[in-house]
Structure 1
Amino acid sequence: MRPLDEKETTAVFEKLFKFTGTNLKHIVERPSLEGPGASRYCFRLHKNRVFYVSDSLLKRATNIARDRLVSLGTCIGKFTKTGSFRLTIQSLDLIAAHSKHKVWLKPTSEMSFLYGNHVLKSGLGRITENTSSGDGVVVFSMSDVPLGFGVSAKSTQDCRKLDPNGIVVLHQADIGEYLRTEDDL
């Protein structure tokens, strides 16, 4: 487990900034409440996966050999073979707490999203103002339970004029992935 280099840090922060905006500083400067003394959270790379872990937990994990270490903290994403960074569904709690743009789904379209489909205008309950096309959005149920995240296909103003079968949010990840990829684990 090693710290991210400059190129990797830039890729991770750009992706997180897409979803959190200026709230990214709350993620980076978040104090840790576990362990003795005051510590912070940091990002570490292990086997092409990026982990969000507290310093105190990281210090305790130094007793474990690198080849035996499977996971530590929260896996927020991974680097692909081409070098690009992808957020995983495990980062949903972190992103949802600090998200800038949000979308709420009607109860009738929640299952469709959890099966891996895009969000249509007919299933849209609410959307935050000033969302532009290409922004990262977190998808919530009407009872404020985070369901997943994606990229907005249309701005807030374009959504008002869109037909009911138009795509509003392009699906990236959802909590139903745990069940769909159960055989791969």
Structure 2
Amino acid sequence: MKQLSDERTKLLFEKLTQFIGANVKLLIDRPDGTYCFREDHNRVYYISEKILSLASNVGPDHLMSAGTCFGKFTKSGKFRLHVTALNYLAPYAQYKIWLKPSAEQQFLYGHHVLKSGLGRITESTPKYQGVVVLSMSDLPLGLGVAAKSTTECKHTDPLTVVCYHIADIGEYIRSEDTLT
């Protein structure tokens, strides 16, 4: 596992800032130790420095992965978040969208969120802002991008898309066939 280049670190932090704002520093300096980001085969892993020092004793041929995969860099050089980052981003998210129970299943199937499925939205959410999508019982369901601002959501048609789908916890089940 290697350190990220300055350019890739910048891309990663820009993407994380889109979802959690200035709380990115809380991911690095945590009460249980210092964490860092490392890259392996274009995938970015979030790992404790203690675990990283232990993993350095294992040869690269024998180490499959260490830490939590936050996402990957595409061939075009963009960074794409994975759903595995959800549990780390959800507590620090500035903007959130809550779904009605009737819309949860559609989101977990990979569909965008319509206004008719919107339960609540954080006040003053800007357009095209990264959001964490939650159930009405505050269970993190996935990541999205706000298609409409909070004020636009109040005056829009019920069949209008208010949140674009990025990742959801249903991906594990949908991708099960491709893993074997």
Indicate whether the TM-score tops 0.5. yes
Instruction: Give the structure 2 partner of residue 12 of structure 1.
Output: 12
Check whether the contact 1:31–1:41 (CA below 8 A) recurs between aligned residues.
no
- How far apart are residue 25 of structure 1 and its match? 1.6
- Map residues 6-155 of structure 1 onto 2, 5 A cutoff: 6-32=6-32, 39-155=33-149
Aligned partner letter, 2:127: S
- How far apart are residue 31 of structure 1 and its match? 3.7
- How far apart are residue 68 of structure 1 and its match? 2.4
Is 1:179 matched with 2:159?
no
Aligned partner letter, 1:68: H
TM-score (norm 1): 0.94
1:124-156 CA-partner distances (Å, limit 9, x unpaired): 000001101110000000000000011000000
Residues matched between the structures, number: 179
Segments of 5+ residues of structure 1 without an aligned counterpart are 33-38
Equivalents in 1 of 2:103, 2:151: separation in Å? 21
Structure 1 segments, 4+ long, off by >2 Å, are: none
Equivalents in 1 of 2:120, 2:74: separation in Å? 33
1:100 match: secondary structure: coil
Instruction: Give the structure 2 partner of residue 160 of structure 1.
Output: 154
Equivalents in 1 of 2:30, 2:8: separation in Å? 20
Aligned partner letter, 1:43: F
Instruction: Give the fraction of aligned pairs with identical amino acids, expressed as a percent.
Output: 54
Equivalents in 2 of 1:64, 1:81: separation in Å? 28
Aligned partner letter, 1:170: Y
TM-score (norm 2): 0.97
Equivalents in 1 of 2:14, 2:64: separation in Å? 26
Equivalents in 1 of 2:88, 2:66: separation in Å? 15
